[in-house]
Amino acid sequence: MNPLTAPVDEPAKANSVPRKPLTVAIIGFGTVGSSVARILTEHAPEGLRLSYVFNRNFERKRKAADWISPIVQWTDNIEDILSSDVDIVVELVGGLEPAGTWIRRAVGSGKSVVTGNKQVVARYGPELVVQAHARGGHVAFGASVAGGVPLISGLQEGLAGDELVELCGILNGTCNYILTRIETSGISFAEALAEAQKFGYAEANPAEDVDGHDALAKLTILCRVGLRCAVGHTEIPTRSISIIEPIDFEYAKLLDCTIRQISRAEKTSGRLLASVEPTLVRRSSPLASVEGPQNLVMSTGKFGGETIFAGHGAGGNATAVAVVSDLISIVRLRQIGGVAIHENGLRHLPVSSDFTTRHYLRFMVKDEPGIIATLATIFAKAGINIDSVFQKPGFSASRLPFVITLEPCSTSLVEESLKQINQLPFLVQPCVALPILD
């Protein structure tokens, strides 16, 4: 709905009786939590009142946050909040537990929950929403995907009139940073990762980001919201970006491409194609120019075609905007005295990453005569057409990288051939096979 605002001096009837503001408890006073508190304090959206802040050892934080109203109650005992009559719990501690239990208990007692917890939403989102609605509450999770980019509301409200068939985007800033560094400085994955950790862009345990689990949770949520597909939290295949070497960017450049961690999903008649993996993208694509913590998602609708959403995918303030936008939505719903629920059921489709696409195959071989002929024969037998072969000069014959690109074919067909190819004696390491996004 896009109503223009009623002037203050002429309120519409629905607003003629001022309502009690909804009380808000923030669980977790880190960068996002303190930004949420700051927006609630400085911007002061109508109908919301910050009442509680939960944090372990909160004394230092309370002292620093002297701009917060003294009537706000600080606590390190979660029971103070869960057993209170607070209207909305903002969960920002992250991780599956104890956050999952806290959310479940809040929902169970009729509270609304706003969360940026992609892991909990990816696993338990649908059931939590149903439970909340049954008790007159809401569960909102705009902050769980792409931080401050208004993606969830855009898919669910702004594009509600379309039937979305495809989503494709960059959902993890850490991978984006690491890949950009390999590209621009020619350093190894390990060096780029160490640098990202040094600057605080990557965790000590980087698997969540670089192996694609973070993006997987986000894509799972997007498949439900945008494509209306029921997807389990581990159903979508992921591949790590750790296989990427500087040479891959050199060859990608010859193809007028770069490499990004791409999350994508495509609804076909019988199945949901989806994956999170390093992918070649054209330099002219908006995906190629996404920098650092930026996120960008392109949605394709059956009727309306392509739409792009981009912005800050991380950061305290941007994510806090998503949280506060969800809080305001709950106020608006509460004002009109009901619960919103989107009626169409989610569709269960088998999930597969077997996209039909062009492929980039980078081999690392001990050079000897007949390598290309051997590979070409295997591909020919599988019915796969080679599109191009690239071999940059200047490499040692004992560790020679070269690239074959394939005409569009199914990924499973390529994987089948690679099983055989990866056994060949001249290969120094397994082939790096990446899809090329067109």
Strand, helix or coil for residue 233: coil
Does residue 218 carry a catalytic annotation?
yes
Residue 328 near its own copies by CB under 8 A: yes
Question: What is the rounded CA–CA span in Å between residue 404 and residue 398?
Answer: 19
The distance of closest approach from Cβ of residue 415 to its own copies in the complex, given in angstroms and rounded to an integer, is: 33
Residue 3 near its own copies by CB under 8 A: yes
Cβ closest to its own copies, residue 82 vs residue 143:
143
Cβ closest to its own copies, residue 164 vs residue 351:
164
The distance of closest approach from Cβ of residue 355 to its own copies in the complex, given in angstroms and rounded to an integer, is: 23
User: Comparing C-alpha atoms, which of 95, 101, 34, 98 is closest to residue 68?
Assistant: 34
Q: Which residues, numbered 275-304, are part of the site for its own copies (CB under 8 A)?
A: 286, 289, 296, 301-304
Stretch that binds its own copies, among 75-83, 206-214, 328-336, 379-387 (CB under 8 A): 328-336
The distance of closest approach from Cβ of residue 89 to its own copies in the complex, given in angstroms and rounded to an integer, is: 16
Distances in whole angstroms, Cα of residue 20 to Cα of each of 91, 324, 331: 22, 18, 10
Which positions ≥6 away from 289 have C-beta within 8 Å?
none
Residues linked to residue 436 through DSSP beta bridges, in sequence order: 280, 358
The distance of closest approach from Cβ of residue 221 to its own copies in the complex, given in angstroms and rounded to an integer, is: 8
The distance of closest approach from Cβ of residue 381 to its own copies in the complex, given in angstroms and rounded to an integer, is: 43
Stretch that binds its own copies, among 1-9, 100-108, 211-219, 372-380 (CB under 8 A): 1-9
Interface map 129-158 toward its own copies (x if CB under 8 A) = xx-xxx---xxxxx-----xxxxxxx-xxx
Q: Report residue 274 as tokens.
A: 């989806």
Question: What is the rounded CA–CA span in Å between residue 151 and residue 163?
Answer: 16
Cβ–Cβ under 8 Å, residues 436 and 360: yes
Task: Pick the binder of its own copies from 307, 374, 391, 410 (CB under 8 A).
Answer: 307
Stretch that binds its own copies, among 5-13, 254-262, 366-374, 403-411 (CB under 8 A): 5-13
Cβ–Cβ under 8 Å, residues 277 and 239: yes
The distance of closest approach from Cβ of residue 23 to its own copies in the complex, given in angstroms and rounded to an integer, is: 17
Q: What are phi and psi of 50, to 5 degrees?
A: -70, 125
Q: Which residues, numbered 215-244, are part of the site for its own copies (CB under 8 A)?
A: 224-225, 228, 230
Q: Report residue 316 as tokens.
A: 């305290």
Interface map 84-123 toward its own copies (x if CB under 8 A) = -------------------------------------x--
Stretch that binds its own copies, among 31-39, 76-84, 171-179, 235-243 (CB under 8 A): 31-39
Residue 344 near its own copies by CB under 8 A: yes
Task: Pick the binder of its own copies from 22, 65, 168, 321 (CB under 8 A).
Answer: 321
Q: How many residues does the chain have?
A: 438
Distances in whole angstroms, Cα of residue 133 to Cα of each of 111, 139, 242, 355: 10, 8, 42, 37
Cβ–Cβ under 8 Å, residues 15 and 335: yes
Q: Which residues, numbered 385-424, are part of the site for its own copies (CB under 8 A)?
A: none
Cβ–Cβ under 8 Å, residues 263 and 170: yes
Q: Report residue 183 as tokens.
A: 């590209």
Residues linked to residue 257 through DSSP beta bridges, in sequence order: 282
Which of 111, 118, 218, 267 is an active site residue? 218
Task: Pick the binder of its own copies from 13, 20, 60, 63 (CB under 8 A).
Answer: 13
Cβ closest to its own copies, residue 157 vs residue 250:
157
The distance of closest approach from Cβ of residue 11 to its own copies in the complex, given in angstroms and rounded to an integer, is: 8
Cβ closest to its own copies, residue 56 vs residue 302:
302
Cβ closest to its own copies, residue 253 vs residue 283:
283
Task: Pick the binder of its own copies from 160, 207, 382, 389 (CB under 8 A).
Answer: 160
Work out the burial of residue 194: count CB atoms within 10 Å of its CB; fewer than 13 is exposed, 13-18 middle, 19 or more buried: middle
Cβ closest to its own copies, residue 346 vs residue 413:
346
Q: Region of 318 please: left (phi>0), alpha (psi -120 to 50) or beta.
A: alpha
Question: What is the rounded CA–CA span in Å between residue 337 and residue 226?
Answer: 26
Task: Pick the binder of its own copies from 59, 79, 256, 306 (CB under 8 A).
Answer: 306
Cβ–Cβ under 8 Å, residues 413 and 382: yes
Q: Are strands 294-301 and 164-170 parallel, antiparallel or unpaired?
A: antiparallel
The footprint of its own copies on this chain (CB under 8 A) covers a number of residues equal to 98
The distance of closest approach from Cβ of residue 123 to its own copies in the complex, given in angstroms and rounded to an integer, is: 12
User: Comparing C-alpha atoms, which of 95, 50, 88 is closest to residue 70?
Assistant: 50
Cβ–Cβ under 8 Å, residues 249 and 406: no
Q: Which residue has the tokens 């920098």?
A: 291
| Residues known to be catalytic | 218
